Chain A
């Protein structure tokens, strides 16, 4: 079973509203602030990108569906800060700090911003898992979908591609496995592939016989076809 964020292929969302090329980067002042607070809090080092994504995905579905993008970021951040014991529920409720933090030496000062953004957080890691597939190999995504390490845990195989047969388009190397990393279980690095699926393999009424969808999928999401 999946979560509310797993919406690829869903019907009923209505038209898309394009935006001017020269429009504002942040449409409200608090949008930029929300992004910046999230990045600065992330720099404290108490969670990684997989934990933070999973935090947003674990918002109650009714909240997730009603929130705008940066509202989800703020709500997710509130959960992360409490889960990591950076802030207490009492502090969130009162709007005031209660006591000092032993993380203050990790603060991203203004002088560090450029270097932190430029450094990024690469996800490739050496690993012992042998690369099982090569370009053009035919593979099938496993079913049933779900995190195999933690019940209800984070995973990156979208439901619309479960049980589908595709072909390996690229071998990306070996990358951190989000299913492990999102739960403080270590990097669990595995081979990662770009896998191409014919639209007709995914959708009851594909738009065009030549269309494809490509997903980046970890080796443990895939099985060899007979």
Chain B
């Protein structure tokens, strides 16, 4: 059987040790060398950053959830093929190629983690918050989700089971939080304001107005 070649156990050490130790200088060094070699364009980096700062974020997911709350046919389509439904809204893309919507009910609360790295549905929720990528969340969410939820201020009734989704493949999960009571007359835009990023990861609930 072949052995893994990705380990850098030569006496010269891992290549990262050749770079400056300060992380900002480290990034700058890689950007500089790659730019000099004609392999990256700094303006493209600006464009990527701006895209995730201003265009692709949790408002996308909130729009999907609001539509699901308002329209049973939309929710049914989302259950059948979430990727197709979000693609029609323009939310297909990198790290959201295989979407699955999971619905919170009176008896099940869903919560998403990636214990092995930090997989996250970028086209719908953007770049994950720091805590989602932390060792503490990755380690604990699967073993003690209720303690984790309590740290977010969420306490579930005893009759509600927790289902934690560990994103080990390229499937990405969007939690559809329960619609708060007293929101019957609200339109899509007003509902979107109640749908937080954390409620779509499952570490929060939708805001009750």
Contacts and interface: CB of A to CB of B under 8 A. Distances in A.
Where chain A touches its partner, the secondary structure class is mixed
A7 B148 CA distance: 16
A213 B166 contact: yes
B47 interface: yes
A111 to B, nearest CB: 8
Given A32-B49, A37-B27, A119-B93, A55 B39 contact: no
Given A101-B39, A216-B168, A8 B44 contact: no
Contacts, number: 334
Contacts of A63: 14, 16
Report the contact-size class of chain B (Cβ under 8 Å from the partner). Answer: 35 or more
B34 A207 contact: no
B129 interface: yes
B97 A152 contact: no
A97 B36 contact: yes
B44 A40 contact: yes
B142 to A, nearest CB: 5
Interface in A175-206: 175-176, 178, 183, 192, 194, 196, 202-203
B30 A14 contact: no
A102 to B, nearest CB: 10
Interface in B1-35: 1-8, 12, 14-16, 18-20, 23-24, 26-34
A96 B19 CA distance: 11
A28 B24 contact: yes
B125 to A, nearest CB: 11
A137 interface: no
Contact of B161 (A13, A77, A121, A208): A208
B50 to A, nearest CB: 9
Given A19-B129, A65-B135, 11 more contacts: A5-B116, A9-B142, A9-B143, A16-B131, A35-B49, A36-B48, A37-B34, A82-B15, A122-B97, A192-B171, A210-B161
13 contacts: A5-B117, A37-B31, A58-B8, A118-B93, A120-B93, A120-B96, A157-B168, A158-B168, A176-B170, A183-B4, A211-B164, A215-B166, A216-B167
